[in-house]
Amino acid sequence: MSGKLKLQICDNTLREGEQSPGVAFTPEEKTRIAEMLDATGVDVIEAGFPATSSEERRAIRKITSLDLNADISGLCRAKDSDVDYAAECDLDWVSIFIATSDIHLRYKYGCSIQQAVDMAISALERAKEYGFRVRVAAEDATRSSRQNLELLYRSAEDAGADMISVADTLGILTPSASMELVRWVKNLTSLPVAVHFHNDLGMATANTLTAFESGALQLHTSVNGIGERAGNAPLEEILIALKLLYGVERYRTENLKQLSTLVEEYSGIRVAKNKPVVGENTFTHESGIHVSAILENTETYEPFPPEIAGMKRKFVFGKHTGRNAVRKILLARGVDIDDLTLEKVTMKVKELGEKKIPVSSDDLLEIVKKME
Ligand code: HCA
Ligand code: CU
């Protein structure tokens, strides 16, 4: 596929990510994350939820005053007062969301779909009066009837919305359902379509990429995938997949590890070692077979060069280490040992590994020194 496809990344770390249990970014932390997202080439930064507090609005204003290349958006409920708060923040975009599923209409709002749409349109009109560009989002779209979605999206287009948006709020979509839904939504209006997909069943990345293939313009992400519950499509997975599998070259993916570490630190949410792209184990090799092959050609067991994501290759030694790998690693560090020492070193490494004691390349050199 060509890299010229129309595409925008809207990153939600600062809004949805902050809704993760226990997470609160200071205005300074928000600013730092926004700057790094901008340096990575993210097109839209959802900076926060203006109605939350005056501190939140101060943080958003700090970001809008930076004059970043990215457009800055804020999330609003379908309430005029939320739009008024957004107007204090100097935003480019506001996103107005309204739930369209029967279960949300009944138990959250206690109103009809027509009343919900009327609220969204009133908020949209107010936002247009302020001069905002507006994305109108159907919350829980994937559990909503097509009739309800059609009413919201068509009304939004008639009232001057700039983008319509599909939220898989509970993360229940499959890739094939994502394709079918996005194609259907695209045909309803002439507006660009955004997708905001959650990861409850581990499919947010797959669903988002399928939506892209199906014509969605704006893809929502968050760094390390943080967000409500199991979170959202991780920025790092989406950007690397776009680059590797779809030929999209315009994002500076080499920032991803740094961005991930920053968000890990500020959010207090640890990244799993086996997390795709940025997890500590993604470029760490232990098994003898893998290490030996990688030393001949890294492409044997690495899907892409680690530098592309700002990662580093690492070798560790343990239970699965083989003689051959030890020999090659030592030779690469200028150490040539005889067969007997090699055997002893390998046995020692395996023994430590079985006791769950990790052995790094430096430890390996120490072991050799002691044997000699
Ligand atoms: C929420 C709202 C939202 C909004 C999605 C969007 C969702 O439930 O907190 O901006 O399109 O997932 O529906 O995050
Ligand atoms: Cu969400």
pLDDT average per 10 residues of sequence, the chain (372 residues)? 69 96 95 98 98 96 97 98 98 98 98 98 98 98 98 98 98 98 98 98 98 98 98 98 97 98 98 98 92 94 97 93 91 93 94 92 91 80
What atom in ligand 1 is closest to the CA of residue 228?
A: 9
46 close to ligand 1 (CB < 6 Angstrom): no
Give residue 97 CA to ligand 1 midpoint distance, Å: 7
- Answer whether 169 contacts ligand 1 (Cβ < 6 A): yes
Output the pLDDT for position 288. Answer: 86
User: Best mutation site among 8, 20, 52, 97 for ligand 1, i.e. most ligand atoms within 8 A of its Cβ?
Assistant: 97
- Classify each residue of 344-370 as buried b or exposed e, where b means 16 or more C-beta atoms within 10 Å of its C-beta: ebbebbbebbeeeeebeeeebbebbee
User: Which of 19, 44, 45, 196 should be mutated for ligand 1, with most atoms under 8 A from CB?
Assistant: 196
Considering only CA atoms, which of 120, 122, 102 is closest in space to residue 111? 102
Query: How far, in Å, are 7, 17, 52, 64, 94 from residue 46 at the CA level?
Result: 16, 10, 14, 11, 9
| Nearest protein CA to atom 9 of ligand 1, as residue | 16
For residue 2, what pLDDT is reported? Answer: 37
Q: Rounded distance, CA 43 to CA 9, Å?
A: 5
Residues whose Cβ atom is located within 5 A of ion ligand 2: 16
Distance 169 CA to ligand 1 centre (A): 6
Which domains are seen in the chain, by residue range? 8-267 (3.20.20.70), 284-371 (no CATH)
Substitution candidate for ligand 1 out of 169, 193, 208 with most atoms within 8 A of CB? 169
For residue 38 and ligand 1, the question of a CB distance below 6 A is answered with no
In this prediction, residue 4 carries a pLDDT of: 47
